[in-house]
Structures are given as C-alpha cells and as structure tokens.
Amino acid sequence: MTAQPIRVLLVDDQPLLRTGFRMILEAESDIAVVGESGDGEQAVADARALQPDVVLMDIRMPRVDGVQATRQITGAARETAPRVLVLTTFDLDEYVVEALRAGASGFLLKDVPAEDLVTAIRTVSRGDAVVAPSITRRLLDMFASRFPATDSPTPATLQHLTDREREVLTLVARGYSNAEIAAELVVSETTVKTHVGNVLTKLGLRDRVQAAVYAYESGLVQPGAL
C-alpha cells in the first residue's frame, strides 16, 4: 500500500517565493503542495479548509503575521493539528522565539538549500523538531527578558515529572542530544528516548523545541546557565 504524501500549505506574502518552494517540493514524490496563502489570515482559513500536515509559514506578513497565524493553526480543533515550520530571513529574528512559543515545530532560513527544506518537511511531519537544540537555546537566551522572573511560582505540571525526567528536560533545554544526555546520565540512548517521550506526554508538548521553551518558562533552566 502506497503511503499518503505529506500535505503542505505554503504561506508567504511574496508570490515568487511561494512559486520557488512549490517547484522544490512538487519534485518530491512523497510531498504534495495543497495550497498557497498570501498572509496569515488566509493561512488560518486555508489550514482549516485544506487540512495540511505541514504549514511552511512566513513570519513577517501584512494583516495577520506568522506568529498569530501559527498560534491559531496549532490550536486548531482537529485530532492532529498541522505542524508549522517558520520561515525567516534572519537566524536570530526576535519573532522566531514568539513563533516557537506559539506552537511552531522549528524554523528555517528563507535561503535554505532545497534538500534541507525537503528534509525539514519530512522531519516535522513525523513529529520531530527541525531546530537544533543549541540554536533554540541561543534564541531563548537572547530574549530571556520575555520569560517570567526566577521567583515565579513553579507550574503545577512540572510536579508531574520524576527527578530523572526533570534532569532529562534540563539537558534537552541546554542543547544536549540524546547521545550526550545518555553519556551525562550514564544510561542508554533508548532509556533517554523513553524519558523524553514521557516528558512530552506528561507536559502535553509536541517536541523538543517546545520542551526547551517550557523549561525556560517554568524556571527549570535559567537563561545563560551552562
């Protein structure tokens, strides 16, 4: 039985960029571009109507920007909300942090090589994030002032984690890979994957990017901490 192609919605206010992305993606047998949107407001409507698996989202657009659109799309009332990949011109765009907090599964630069774009689409469609943890941490550190004060109350959801799960979450937020976490805690990678999965499930998070954001917002990890 042939697997269903990954359904992608392209969102950008520049038609030429949308055309370029469409040409790249339609050359892949396992990816289908189901629509194009020229701004965030249209993207929200198209996401509801077309039910894409992945939304390639421009961040700076008229009317409704990519952050607002991402928040509405990832919170959509369907069994599995679309994954959102944010597109940006600058790798330290302040809006990227807001988009990650709004529910995006990662970000790409607009000049990303074609093969990396295709790989990213496939990666997020499987439920993984495409932002390297180290980059996520750098972004979060840069905009640490946006997070609550260190004396803010600990979220009740954090209490659901075991001590070991908190350790794993801390290391995820600090940019450690599964292999590095395994070495740090002297356990197997399989065990680490199990802990990461438990953390995501207990906290209702989608991927490692959102886990890193949560770790900062909850005060578990302090910006700039090594």
Residue partners of 114: CB distance under 8 A and separation at least 6: 24
Could you read off the pLDDT of 18-35 as tens digits, one per residue?
A: 999 999 999 999 999 999
Question: pTM above the 0.85 mark?
Answer: no
Please tell me the predicted confidence (pLDDT) of residue 132: 57
What percent of the chain stands above pLDDT 90? 44
Could you read off the pLDDT of 138-180 as tens digits, one per residue?
A: 666 665 556 555 555 567 788 899 999 999 999 988 778 788 8
pLDDT, average across residues 198-214:
86
In this structure, which CATH number among 1.20.120.550, 3.40.220.10, 2.60.40.10, 1.10.10.10 belongs to the domain 156-218? 1.10.10.10
Please tell me the predicted confidence (pLDDT) of residue 90: 66
Domain borders along the chain are 6-141, 156-218
Q: In angstroms, rounded to a whole number, what is the distance separating the alpha carbons of residues 11 and 37? A: 5
Residue partners of 166: CB distance under 8 A and separation at least 6: 158, 220
Same fold, 6-141 and 156-218: no
Other beta carbons less than 10 A from residue 67's beta carbon: 24
Please tell me the predicted confidence (pLDDT) of residue 79: 60
CATH of domain 6-141: 3.40.50.2300
Q: One-letter amino acid identity for 77?
A: A
Between residues 76 and 200, the one the model is more confident about = 200
Could you read off the pLDDT of 71-130 as tens digits, one per residue?
A: 999 876 556 789 999 888 766 556 777 887 788 888 888 888 899 899 989 988 887 777
Whether 47 has a pLDDT exceeding 70, the answer reads yes
Residue partners of 124: CB distance under 8 A and separation at least 6: 54, 83, 85, 105, 106, 130
Report residue 61's pLDDT band, with 50, 70 and 90 as the boundaries. Answer: confident
